[in-house]
Amino acid sequence: MNEPVDVLIIGAGASGAAFAWSIAETKMRILCLEQGDWTKPSDFPSNGRDWEARASEDFAINPNRRQNPADYPINDDDSPIKVANFNGVGGGTILYAGHYPRLHPSDFRVHSLDGVADDWPIDYATLEPFYALNDKMTGVSGLAGDPAYPPKDVQMAPLPMGKTGRKIGTAMNELGWHWWPCDAAIPTSDYNGRARCINLGHCGGGCAQGAKATTDITYWPEALRARVELRTKCRVSRIETDADGMATGAWYFDGNGEEVFQPASIVVMACNGIGTPRILLNSASERFPNGLANSSDLVGRNLMLHPYAQIRGHFDEKLDGAKGPLIGTWSMQFYETDRERGFVRGYCYQFSRGLGPVATATNGMADGLIPWGAGHHEAFGRLFEHSAGMAAICEDLPEEINRVTLDPHLKDSNGIPAPKLTYRVGENTQRMLDHSIARGVEIMKTAGAHDITTKSPLSYAGWHLMGTARMGIDPRKSVVNEWGRSHDVKNLFIIDGSVFVTSGGVNPTSTIQALALYIADQFKTRIYDLFD
């Protein structure tokens, strides 16, 4: 058995890193267990000529495709949307686009404003200082004054507009619709020891430059300097409890495949909206027969994935191709509820630049725009570096039938049951997807695009894993309280996207990290009566 620690954090990704850094000042003994390992900058695909090929190999976004030693399988047969993640120090931030919007104030009052789902037990104002702190730690580029948001600071100039941003922005002006340079966790000037972005154009495969704000190079170096211990290649299987119903630590498999018990006074789950319910459900015992922290029967339920619609067009003139961060601008034109659209809540658009030659050819052939045979080269030449696109990120309302359970047969390499997804796109979301396709095509046509393609919902886009251990005041209707502590197990905290009450219609990483910092702040403030 290992030496006991005060706080055991499970998962070294977006939330675990921020939480560890924040509570380091307590000088408690803090340990983080991470199933993956560190990724060296020299390992990232953009170091090599095979950078596009590796997006479907060892840096594939889907763990069932990637099958690296750190990955666990996910049965997603019963879901039209497949999970995208990364297991390692930094978690999903290693492969994310660095697109970094906040939730909007209305996202926390969904029931009050629009009569659907539930309000959060906290509001935008509560999180605002933690958004700001997280932005400072992360280094956010953007442009102040976006009328879609309350005033907020940015650390540095926005990402370059490029030809693509100008093309789409001009079309949006013609339509009279909102657009703005996105907040990006990508520095446009040197920031806190990180070099500025040099437009490698493959943020989604990891940043070889070390510019993109992944938590292995933002929070973790600071946390390690503050004496937090991070132990890699340690896969947690279950949380142990005592007769008082308190967590006593976690069982994990180390890099040699040995099962080890790690005692801890406090356990913090930071494994994302799939990994956290997986471990909690696998921690079922005589005391907690329905899984740990699950008296509400809501662990694993209300899974929200943000269905994406993708619209891509091609232009007569040459644009940016794959150079530069994929996403440069966004639109919140259809974000706030307008019932005349036929649905409640809304979506944002993230406008994206072009594709590399391999993706141009592969997508072009798959979409029927590039033939096999003699016409290949001419068609390729018409599309390559002549495309721009957008994705609509649609708010996914919580529904209990959308859930994570344990697969009765599928197991990972350590014999731990794999998670199983049961998910379908709700009616409101489907109407939103359809609306976003129609408006997206309108934008593309206004911009002068031809050969417009659409996909909805995008299959391999289950990046945003939310809602499976929701927060709330009522223990019958939520898993954790309004500051992240389990209603059932007083020394168990959940700090990742699982605690989202609703999903909003934007990428969640900035909110996940702001929530982790907020819960850490509550943790420190309440340290003397944490279990009361």
Site for another protein in 59-98 (CB under 8 A): 60, 65, 67
Nearest residue (CB) to another protein, 80 versus 357: 357
* Residues constituting the chain: 532
Amino acid symbol at 403: R
Question: Which SS3 state, helix, strand or coil, does residue 344 take?
Answer: coil
In the list 317, 340, 374, 532, the residue contacting another protein (rule: CB under 8 A) is 374
Question: Rounded CA gap, 44 and 207, in Å?
Answer: 7
In the list 221, 245, 357, 475, the residue contacting another protein (rule: CB under 8 A) is 357
Cα torsion 244, 258, 254, 519 to 10°: value is -10
Site for another protein in 396-435 (CB under 8 A): none
Nearest residue (CB) to another protein, 197 versus 230: 197
Q: How far is the CB of 338 from another protein (least distance, A)?
A: 11
Site for another protein in 33-62 (CB under 8 A): 44, 46-53, 56-57, 60
Report if residue 373 touches another protein, rule: CB under 8 A: yes
In the list 40, 69, 77, 170, the residue contacting another protein (rule: CB under 8 A) is 170
Site for another protein in 90-149 (CB under 8 A): 104-109, 112-113, 123-125, 143, 145, 147-149
Report if residue 379 touches another protein, rule: CB under 8 A: no
Q: How far is the CB of 409 from another protein (least distance, A)?
A: 20
Where are any strands of DSSP class E within 81-234? 180-181, 229-231
Could you tell me which residues come within 8 angstroms of residue 507 by beta carbon, excluding any fewer than 6 positions away?
96, 97, 99, 100, 101, 306, 350, 393, 463, 464
Q: How far is the CB of 92 from another protein (least distance, A)?
A: 20
Question: Which SS3 state, helix, strand or coil, does residue 176 take?
Answer: coil
Question: Rounded CA gap, 118 and 476, in Å?
Answer: 14
Question: Rounded CA gap, 131 and 518, in Å?
Answer: 9
Nearest residue (CB) to another protein, 165 versus 249: 165
Could you tell me the two tokens for 251?
A: 């069982």
List the x/- string, 297-326, binding to another protein by CB under 8 A: -----------------------x--xx--
Question: Residue count at the site for another protein (CB under 8 A)?
Answer: 75
Identify the burial level of 225 via C-beta atoms within 10 angstroms of its C-beta, where 0-12 means exposed, 13-18 middle and 19 or more buried.
exposed
Could you tell me the two tokens for 41?
A: 């900058």
The two beta strands, 387-394 and 75-78, are unpaired
Closest CA to 230 of 5, 465, 470: 5
The region of 8-16, 26-34, 357-365, 497-505 touching another protein under the rule CB under 8 A is: 357-365
Question: Rounded CA gap, 348 and 433, in Å?
Answer: 11
Beta bridge partners of 485: 493
Site for another protein in 437-466 (CB under 8 A): none
Q: How far is the CB of 11 from another protein (least distance, A)?
A: 26
Site for another protein in 172-191 (CB under 8 A): 172-173, 176, 178-181
Residue recorded with tokens 């809602």? 467
Q: How far is the CB of 80 from another protein (least distance, A)?
A: 15
Q: How far is the CB of 96 from another protein (least distance, A)?
A: 18
Nearest residue (CB) to another protein, 110 versus 421: 110
